[in-house]
Amino acid sequence: MFEYDLLYAKQKYYEKRKQNDDKIVFHMPEDIIIFIGENNIPNHMDMKIVLPDEQEKDYEIPVMKCSQYSTQEMIQNKLYPLLPLQLFNFKEELLKLNKEKTENKDKIDDQMQKVMQSAKQTAEEIIKLQESGKINPEDMHILLLAISNLFKYLNSKYGNDTKLNEKVNIIIKTLYDSIVEERGIKIGEIRGIISTYIEFKLEDDEIINKLKSNLNIDDEKANKYLNNYYKENKK
C-alpha cells in the first residue's frame, strides 16, 4: 500500500509541478484498506519509515471491515458500491461447513437460502437508491449484476445448486423489470437494459418481448434496438 501511495504522490507531483519549483513535495493520498469477510485483522496497518539520519516516521492506514457494516449502515455512509459484498458475510460460516460437506449438506443448503434472501434484500435496496436518485441507472445495472455474480460464485464454491442461481436471476430480473416499467427510458439507457437481459441469459425473442412491453414500443423498433446493440458490441 505504501508503494502505491508513493507512486500516486509522485504522479500527482509531476502533473501539477511548475517550472520554477525548487523543491519536490509529495502529497501522500488519504486512503483506506478494505477487507471483505474477515474480522481477525487490526483496525489499521502500520509501517515505520527510517530515514538515513535514523529519524523515524510512522505511516498508518486505517482498515475498513465490510463484515462490520450492515446494509443500512453502508447506505447511511454512502458506501453504495460495497453493497453487493454483503453476501460475503456468509462466507465464513460456509467455509466452516464445507470442511465436512457431506455431513453438513442440509446446513449448507440452509445457509445458501440465507445468502439468497440477502441477495434479494440488497437488490431491493439498490432499486430504492436508484428510484431516489442516489445512484444512476448504469450504477444500478452494475450493482445488480454484481449481486448475481457473487451469488453464483458462493453457490458454485459451497452450495453448487444451479437452481438457486436461476432463482436469484429471476428475483433480480423481476425487480429490474419493475423499475424499467415505471420510468421513462433514455436511448442511451436501452443499451444497459439489453446488456442486463443478456447477462440474465434471456434469448433474443425474450429480450424483444421485454423491450416491447417495458418500453411500450412495437416489434420493429425493439428489433432495431437489439440489432444496433449487437452491431455496437460485435456479437
Tens digit of pLDDT for each residue in 80-122? 999 999 999 898 889 889 888 888 889 999 999 999 999 999 9
The answer on pLDDT for 187 being more than 70 is no
> Average pLDDT in the 45-50 region?
85
Instruction: Give the pLDDT band (50/70/90) at residue 176.
Output: confident
Residue 5 near residue 49 (C-beta atoms within 8 A): no
Q: What is the pTM for the complete model shown?
A: 0.67
* Helix, strand, coil % in the chain, rounded to nearest 5: 65, 10, 25
The answer on pLDDT for 149 being more than 60 is yes
CA distances from residue 14 to 2, 10, 20, 118 in whole angstroms, order as listed: 19, 6, 13, 46
Taking alpha carbons only, the member of 173, 178, 233, 229 closest to residue 204 is: 229
Tell me the pLDDT of the chain averaged across its residues: 83
Which residues are registered as beta bridge partners of 33? 63
> Alpha-carbon dihedral of residues 223, 224, 229, 230, nearest 10 degrees?
70
Give the range among 62-76, 144-158, 210-224 with minimum mean pLDDT.
210-224
Looking only at the bridges linking them, the beta strands covering 56-65 and 44-50 are antiparallel
What does the buried/exposed string (b/e) look like for 184-220 if buried means 16 or more CB atoms within 10 Å of the residue's CB?
ebeeebbbbbbbbbbbbebeeeebbebbbebbebeee
Instruction: Give the pLDDT band (50/70/90) at residue 134.
Output: very high
Which residues are registered as beta bridge partners of 58? 48
Q: Can you read off the three cell numbers belonging to residue 79? A: 458506501
